[in-house]
Homo-oligomer: A and B are copies of this chain.
Amino acid sequence: MNSKELQGQLCVVGLGPGDDALLTQQVRASIASATDAFGYFPYVERLQGLEHLQLHASDNREELERACSALNLAAQGRKVLMLSSGDPGVFAMASAVFEVLEQACPEELARWQAVDVQVQPGITAMLAAAARLGAPLGHDFCTINLSDNLKPAQIIEHRIRLAAQADFAMAFYNPCSRSRPEGFVRALRVLQQECEPGRLICFARNVSRPDESLQVVRLEQASADMADMRTLVIVGSSQTRRVGKHVYTPRSYGVAAHA
């Protein structure tokens, strides 16, 4: 046993949007060699049946407690996975782990300092959705979490307004949830103030899963009930358009010449 195995590891991995075909080989290898896996119930469920793994599922408002427990177990020398859907660094568990490390008390720090913390990327929802739609994120874009759980609603509105003025395409995560249905309503209001009525908006629900659905409408046709907590919303820039059954944003902007 080398020192790396003795010291324990916490590997924060991205499982992609749902279809196992979108896992990377790196994450597959980490799953194969881990001893334990922590995560929100539906992500842990994806590893059910892997007998070498001890599974530790928890609810989706318990990110910090989950990160603490995972670090404690890793400090005992185990190889621990922290599961995220999509990419762990995009509105997911990687930041929660670093928040816990930053806020650690001296006893925790002493316990955790030998743990090897790694992050392994995954296919985040906006890239999977964009690929199914065509290439709506083919030019400059921004990525905004519409949940006001961890930031004020005014900050979100301010960012959408500036993003529209910058003519970014936009990807919206967590457009609304059962407990907070108003996030996407507010976003739509700002878009209607800032963008032309023909602007394309794409609703990608459960991308890569058997019940995947895609819907593309003009801003003037968009309504709040088109997005739920399983929907990734992509708002086109002023240049985003349809070609056949696809939606794409050209690479060039404000110039006629192509490479």
A interface residues with partner B (beta carbon < 8 Å): 16, 19-26, 28-29, 61-64, 87-92, 94-99, 101-102, 117, 119-124, 127-128, 130-132, 134-145, 149-152, 155, 158-159, 162-163, 165-168, 241, 243-244, 246, 248-255, 258-259
Contacts and interface: CB of A to CB of B under 8 A. Distances in A.
A149 B251 CA distance: 10
Contacts of A165: 162
Contacts of A16: 24
A249 B95 contact: yes
Given A89-B127, A95-B138, 8 more contacts: A91-B138, A95-B249, A98-B135, A102-B248, A119-B134, A140-B143, A141-B143, A150-B258
A103 to B, nearest CB: 9
Contacts of A64: 258-259
B26 A258 contact: no
Contacts of A137: 89-90, 143
A131 B88 contact: yes
B253 A155 contact: yes
A123 B88 CA distance: 12
Pick the 5 closest A-B CB pairs, nearest first: A95-B138, A94-B135, A142-B142, A98-B248, A151-B253
A159 B170 CA distance: 13
A249 to B, nearest CB: 6
B255 A150 contact: yes
Contacts of A130: 89, 119, 121
A143 B145 contact: no
